[in-house]
Amino acid sequence: MVFITVTFKKMNIKLLLTLLFFSTLVVAENHVIFLEISSNETSTVIKPQLDFHTSAQIKEAIDNGIRINIIAKVDLYEPQSLWFNKTLKKQKITLEISYFSLGKHYKIKNLRTDEQIGVNEYPQLWKELEKLMVFEFPNSAITSKSWVKLRIMLDKGALPIAMQLPVLFDSNWDINTPWHEQKVMQ
């Protein structure tokens, strides 16, 4: 009986350590810090403030001419107590990041509006990213119970086909943020 109890305790400790190890792999190091929400007569504008970092592998890929796409999704919703949230509106912005080696110049391009920002330094690239993430909702869609949630992720499907499978489970390519939720004040 003592042998079974000791073995069970050892298994629980191993299981606990394994779960703790895998839970640290899932936590994203990129975050949406705050959503700046402003209103005018006709619409409400949402702009994220980010804490965004990438690995050396992503920098190397961009510097070697591989274009990467970042997707920002925002949902305007009303929370429901006993069922799924009621989605009022959704928007998605896709940003393409590229590097031009002759000019030593990084470019961020909003693929929906063709708006672009160019920078010379790689760290500055990620600070400028939030300037192209502007979401606008009509005031008619916003209620007193409205919340907004935003998430940013790497579009791994837009990478060259030869890279898609190797980066799928590589934590160096996991730059996704968790959902950031914030109440919309009118």
User: Residue 127 — very low, low, confident or very high, per pLDDT cuts 50/70/90?
Assistant: confident
Amino acid at 84: F
In this prediction, residue 186 has a pLDDT band, given cuts at 50, 70 and 90, of low
Domain presence at residue 12: no
Span 82-96, pLDDT tens digits: 888 899 999 999 999
Q: Which residues contact 166 (CB under 8 A, 6 or more apart)?
A: none
The answer to whether position 135 is within a domain reads yes
Please state the pTM of the whole predicted model: 0.79
Cα–chain-centroid distance for residue 90? 15
Domains held by the chain: number: 1
Query: Which residues, 6 or more positions from 177, have their beta carbon under 8 angstroms from its beta carbon?
Result: 28, 30, 31, 32, 50, 52, 151, 152, 153
What is the extent of the structural domain holding 61? Answer: 30-183
Amino acid at 70: I
Domain presence at residue 101: yes
Residue in the structure block whose two tokens are 């993430």: 133
Within a domain: 68: yes
Amino acid residing at 17: L
Identify whether 147 is part of a domain.
yes
For residue 17, being part of any structural domain is answered with no
Question: Is the residue at 11 inside a domain?
Answer: no
Q: Does any domain span residue 14? A: no
**Residue whose C-alpha is closest to residue 129's, from 180, 90, 95:** 95
Query: CB of 85 within 8 A of CB of 98?
Result: no
1 pLDDT higher than 60: no
Contact 173, 58 (CB under 8 A): yes
- Residue of higher predicted confidence among 1 and 23: 1
Q: Are 174 and 156 in contact (CB under 8 A)?
A: no
Q: Please give the pLDDT value at position 14.
A: 56
